Structure 1
């Protein structure tokens, strides 16, 4: 499982407990230059962290290590001071890990037109556990309004998080920044720095030191320092690294990154930051498992130097706590280099079968439609194939699918629940035959077809270690049978292993799950892929779809998603956003709602598409609550802006035209569409 690697810096006792908003002369140019000189030399910008426990043949002694750390998120977001567009949220999972204790956030801001910001007035908010005594709303704390001085067109706005909140903040939440008043109509948030405490129990077999004495300038084309990792014993891996650095004066704000280079590839953390008036720092890195995956031959530790108020930094010494993790198994990776290397076998099989790649298929999908609340219906009080109509929709016909194609969709997702149609582990023949009949309706029309395992995740599927053996066997059995039945279909038939795999009824069910649950979902994803690939026919080349915990697009779920290696795999999420508009509790599709989905689309592109893992959103939509003009604006905006980032969408249609959960677009009994919404969907897909 993967989790976002937080860049980790500590200034030891010298780290400031609060960052002054008053910036010294030339600070505006500093932050801009920092952006210009960010990482240029470490080849793979890999930012996820495996948290799956490592198999070992040796039990190392455990040492408790604590440090105050800083992580930096590049924001580049613009907000105004007008109500409805004056706040923005940032995911905590891109800044901290579970268990970290947040102390402060610093937001670097600029006026959008270079003018004077003047006195800044705004506020902050943060997700908290519902049992937090200091919460101001359910699961939320909103600060009082605050004012800060700025330095002309530039400012550093620091919020010291109230102590009474720290034990109730988790990595699955968000932090909010709000701009209420200032001279500037709009401000741009360049970056966000989070200062936090981390304590970990780390396996440690020993500590080794190395004197380095190397210097580097942030202006250098190769602005990193490499240290051969030959001073720790052979067969060991680094757990915690401390870099001792110095300069010829106060750092002010230090930014950089850590990494590992080897013959196996490269790992680089996201940008990190420390505010300090000192000329000496100790920078602590808790080495993530994802970095350890690159431990091979010719290992090097990397220190990147992007910016401070001193042009040159000297790395004096490195200290490494190491362990004998002899049984370490490299994790699933989602870097561009790793994904490209892993594609070879499946790509060759696809070429041999005349199949298109997953990327090619996604690029050819225009827009998709869900046959919701039909073959996925369960707990209907009916048996056999009669369950298909148990949730109010008519039996699926060839004419229904032909009308979907005529409307302009070129892809159909067919959700199927299998659990109620099995004798022990065997899918009933009548049910399999009916599923194939419906698949053929769409496949024979030339459509792309997604076939999934749908509400099984509610009936029997459980992402717990204790349930894994039995549930994995059942998952494999279902997909062995499906894969065998459809083995000779061409590349327009795509299998989706799981729908919304989650722990039903848990407090984290719709909040990205727990780290252990996300790890188990990754194991199920690998089981699904391996089962289909080994099933014969054309399935070795078939494009497959995997998903996150609960198909969540929450950052914590995305960061921990381990996409199986081998290529021809699509990542799917379900993203009903902005949620209050999607579920009908808000009637206006606001600018802040547009900003929310735009940022998520960019995140999906950055974390997956840019690493050769195509992405689809195979469920989204809004209920029949707002005016049709608002709903049509929503569908067009959502689909078109997702497409701009390379993401294709499948609208969720459950056939309900009015009332609760009324995501219906197409009356399947009358074969009529909501023409206003259909037009908007097709405009967005152009």
Structure 2
């Protein structure tokens, strides 16, 4: 009897052991399936009953996502700024404009024929003579006017400045008068779309003829400049075709990632170059018909050497074609011939 009880107890132990072992195996398998099964879950899920009796599932994601570092970016290049002062004169000649003190008393001219936006205009000189080329003018009286920005406190009208006092000069049959631009309007002169006015009020004759107007100006500008290139030229020039033009390939002085800021042409004569007049042009691809040019400029020197500089307007600088042409045309010189020694181009770097 006792033996039967012992066997029964052993059997119960075995059954309990098997149940526990099976439960352990099931737990292990469940854990493995939970991590590597096909459900696609990346974490472990727990069910929690909230205060309202609702079962809420929470998933803890133990996997760490790879951190992708942002690529390093190169800061945009900013060219250092360089102050450039290029002094020159410009002119309108052969005007032959007749003015009458009793009727047509004034004559307007476009400012962009004398200067470019950003230039500082210092003076205008007006050349005139009596209509019959003989009569003495005696005392000549008149006035000047010029376009200014509306912000100019010295303006006499909305966008206009008129000299408050008449000029008065004496002359024979030929005369000149120079207007020195007042300091309080220099920074407000509107070149683009603006005008300069010459007024004739009185003299000993009724009519005078305005022959020529000369503007003395300065290009005073901070230009972006990373460096400069020089092209030796060594060409003898004369102020007559075909010896009055120099043309170089822009690629000789500019790389594809260079943006020209100023052009300077240096000259040498056998005697002092007291007067030299000329203009630049530069290729601009599809912009403005393929090229842009400066106004004709006049420089003077008491020495045998002189130079003429064009500070490129921003719109020209940004559209310059590095594969185009750079040209200089000599229009006038006090010498029969002068040697163009070299061209210097100051440039800024752009993104390659």
TM-score band w.r.t. shorter chain: 0.5 to 0.7
Which residue number in structure 2 is paired with residue 164 of structure 1?
184
Of 177, 183, 195, the match for 2:216: 195
Q: Quote the Cα distance in structure 2 between the aligned partners of 1:104 and 1:124.
A: 11
Whose radius of gyration is greater, 1 or 2?
2
Which residue number in structure 1 is paired with residue 120 of structure 2?
101
- RMSD between superposed Cα atoms in Å: 3.5
Which residue number in structure 2 is paired with residue 204 of structure 1?
225
Q: Quote the Cα distance in structure 2 between the aligned partners of 1:182 and 1:254.
A: 34
**Closer/same/farther in 2, CA of residues 167 and 237 from structure 1, 3 Å limit:** closer
**Alignment of 1:90 onto 2:97:** no
1:218 counterpart SS class? coil
Contact 2:260 2:320 survives alignment (8 Å): no
Of 72, 76, 86, the match for 2:91: 72
Q: Quote the Cα distance in structure 1 between the aligned partners of 2:120 and 2:232.
A: 32
- Structure 1 position 277, deviation (Å): 4.9
Q: Quote the Cα distance in structure 2 between the aligned partners of 1:254 and 1:145.
A: 33
**Closer/same/farther in 2, CA of residues 321 and 277 from structure 1, 3 Å limit:** same
Higher relative contact order (CA 8 A, sep 6+): 2
**Closer/same/farther in 2, CA of residues 163 and 324 from structure 1, 3 Å limit:** same
Contact 2:259 2:320 survives alignment (8 Å): no
Which residue number in structure 2 is paired with residue 3 of structure 1?
none
- Structure 1 position 262, deviation (Å): 8.8
1:23-34 pair list within 5 angstroms:
none
Q: Quote the Cα distance in structure 1 between the aligned partners of 2:253 and 2:173.
A: 49
Contact 1:79 1:87 survives alignment (8 Å): no
**Closer/same/farther in 2, CA of residues 280 and 123 from structure 1, 3 Å limit:** farther
Contact 2:259 2:317 survives alignment (8 Å): no
Of 318, 321, 335, the match for 2:343: 318
Q: Quote the Cα distance in structure 2 between the aligned partners of 1:275 and 1:116.
A: 33
Q: Deviations over 1:526-582 (max 9, x none)?
A: xxxxxxxxxxxxxxxxxxxxxxxxxxxxxxxxxxxxxxxxxxxxxxxxxxxxxxxxx
Q: Give the TM-score normalised by structure 1.
A: 0.35
Which residue number in structure 1 is paired with residue 321 of structure 2?
295
Q: Quote the Cα distance in structure 2 between the aligned partners of 1:180 and 1:243.
A: 43
**Closer/same/farther in 2, CA of residues 222 and 84 from structure 1, 3 Å limit:** same
Q: Quote the Cα distance in structure 2 between the aligned partners of 1:308 and 1:156.
A: 22
Q: Quote the Cα distance in structure 1 between the aligned partners of 2:333 and 2:312.
A: 24
Q: Flag structure 1 segments of 5+ consecutive residues without an equivalent.
A: 1-56, 328-686
- Structure 1 position 175, deviation (Å): 2.0
Q: Quote the Cα distance in structure 1 between the aligned partners of 2:206 and 2:301.
A: 32
Which residue number in structure 1 is paired with residue 144 of structure 2?
124
1:165 counterpart SS class? helix
**Alignment of 1:270 onto 2:286:** no
1:301 counterpart SS class? strand
More helix by share: 1
Q: Quote the Cα distance in structure 1 between the aligned partners of 2:256 and 2:118.
A: 32
Q: Quote the Cα distance in structure 2 between the aligned partners of 1:108 and 1:291.
A: 35
Of 280, 290, 298, the match for 2:305: 280
**Closer/same/farther in 2, CA of residues 102 and 294 from structure 1, 3 Å limit:** closer
- Structure 1 position 306, deviation (Å): 0.8
Q: Quote the Cα distance in structure 2 between the aligned partners of 1:152 and 1:249.
A: 33
Q: Quote the Cα distance in structure 2 between the aligned partners of 1:193 and 1:110.
A: 15
2:253 counterpart SS class? coil
- Structure 1 position 85, deviation (Å): 0.7
Contact 1:263 1:296 survives alignment (8 Å): no
1:570-609 pair list within 5 angstroms:
none
Q: Flag structure 2 segments of 5+ consecutive residues without an equivalent.
A: 1-75
Q: Quote the Cα distance in structure 1 between the aligned partners of 2:203 and 2:127.
A: 15
More strand by share: 2
1:72 counterpart SS class? strand
1:319-338 pair list within 5 angstroms:
319-326=344-351
Q: Give the TM-score normalised by structure 2.
A: 0.63
Which residue number in structure 1 is paired with residue 255 of structure 2?
233
**Closer/same/farther in 2, CA of residues 189 and 59 from structure 1, 3 Å limit:** same
**Closer/same/farther in 2, CA of residues 275 and 86 from structure 1, 3 Å limit:** farther
Contact 2:262 2:312 survives alignment (8 Å): yes
- Structure 1 position 261, deviation (Å): 5.3
